Chain A
Amino acid sequence: MKIICVCGFGVGSSLILKMKVAEVLKEEGFDVKVEAQDVTSASGTDAKLIFASKEIANQIKKVKCPIIEIHNFLNKQEIREKGVPVVRKLLAEL
């Protein structure tokens, strides 16, 4: 299952978010691939789930997969609380 973290250019903040999301999902025992991507290419993504800031989420609303908005990219608890139930549900549907 492909999960992407999105920022304006896919090299800075999304990379940081990717590191934290991957850390949390690994701790939770999920075997998923997390990538960082820029907002333009993310609009046409085939990912099953997106993590992004509120601002970026608003710009890619049309994507087919769920988007999880993260306020604090360094807060593993926020990522865990918002992300884990969704990842679990998506994996169950595979």
Chain B
Amino acid sequence: MLNQFLTENVIKVQQHVNSWQEAIQLGGALLLKTEAIEENYIQAMIDAVHKHGPYIAIAPGIAIAHAAPGKFVNDDAISLVTLKEAVAIGHDTNDPIHLFFVVAAKSNEGHLTFLQELVTILSDDKSLGILKTGNKEAVLALFQ
């Protein structure tokens, strides 16, 4: 199921960014292009970190950026940006961040079941290593 969401056009690997904001913008731009989100969703994700803190850094090196469901969201979607050099988001234990996932949900029913598959991949050290350093082909293969 995850492979229907994390497709080639919503993954960018080994990118260079100067800040976590830039990483979120990059991941957001991918979903803007597929029309899954409206442009305002990108700023809403950044505002959410300013408001609620860097809690989107869910584990060492991994951030799951998202904003409120429904508003500015046309379709359930996820994108991935991996960074060549990790950036800090201000989290005590999970900085620096290598992987930025951008998640958009149409409703708040906790229905994003593809996250379960993602969690399984992220919980595996070998897969995590490939995500952090792999090229696009290797990263895509993880989601198949």
Q: Which of A25-33, A43-51, A53-61, A81-89 contacts B (4 or more CB under 8 A)?
A: A53-61
Please name all residues of chain A whose beta carbon is closer than 8 Å to the beta carbon of B2 when the two chains form the complex: none
Task: Please determine whether A59 and B52 come into contact, CB atoms closer than 8 angstroms.
Answer: yes
Task: Please determine whether B54 and A74 come into contact, CB atoms closer than 8 angstroms.
Answer: no
Interface residues on B, range: 20 to 34
**Proximity bits, A53-71, B CB within 8 Å = 1, else 0:** 1111011000000000001
Task: Please determine whether B56 and A75 come into contact, CB atoms closer than 8 angstroms.
Answer: no
Whole-angstrom distance between the alpha carbons of A26 and B128 in the complex?
A: 25
Enumerate chain A interface residues (CB-CB to B < 8 A). Answer: 7-13, 15-20, 35-36, 38-39, 52-56, 58-59, 71-76
Enumerate chain B interface residues (CB-CB to A < 8 A). Answer: 48, 51-56, 58-60, 62, 64-69, 92-94, 103, 105, 108, 110, 112, 115-116, 118-119, 122-123
Known: A9-B48, A15-B115, A16-B115. 10 other contacts (CB 8 A): A7-B55, A8-B48, A8-B51, A12-B64, A12-B103, A13-B56, A35-B110, A54-B55, A71-B94, A74-B58
Offer 21 A-B interface pairs, CB within 8 angstroms, sorted by A: A8-B56, A10-B108, A12-B66, A13-B55, A18-B110, A19-B116, A20-B119, A36-B110, A38-B108, A53-B53, A53-B58, A55-B54, A56-B55, A59-B52, A72-B58, A72-B59, A72-B93, A73-B59, A74-B58, A74-B122, A75-B59
